[in-house]
Amino acid sequence: MEPNADKLRGLCITSLDDEDDDETELPNQPLPASTVTVAAAASGYDDGDEDEEAEVMLGFLEKPKHPGLLLRHLFPSKAGGIPAWLDPVNLPTGNSSCCGFCGEPLHFVLQIYAPIESNAAAFHRTLFMFMCPSMACLHRDQHKQWTRNQGNPRRSVRVFRCQLPRTNVFYSSEPPSRNNSDKPLCAGAALCHWCGTWKGDKICGGCKKSRYCSEKHQLRHCTGALVIKMIAYR
What are the pLDDT digits (tens) for 41-50?
443 444 444 5
When mean pLDDT is compared over 33-42, 85-94, 211-220, the highest value belongs to 85-94
- 38 contact partners, CB below 8 Å, separation of at least 6: 57, 58, 59, 77, 112, 114
- Residue 1's pLDDT is 44
- Residue 57's pLDDT is 75
Residue 79 has pLDDT above 90, yes or no: yes
User: What is the value of pTM for the model shown?
Assistant: 0.73
Residue 36 has pLDDT above 80, yes or no: no
Domain ranges of the chain: 67-145+153-173+185-223
Average of pLDDT values for 96-112?
94
Q: What share of the chain has pLDDT > 90, as a percent?
A: 44
Residue 16 has pLDDT above 90, yes or no: no
Cα–Cα distance, 121 to 114 (Å, whole number) = 13
What are the pLDDT digits (tens) for 149-173?
666 678 999 999 999 999 999 999 9
Residue 65 has pLDDT above 90, yes or no: no
Largest alpha-carbon pair distance within the chain?
72
- Residue 215's pLDDT is 83
- Residue 225's pLDDT is 55
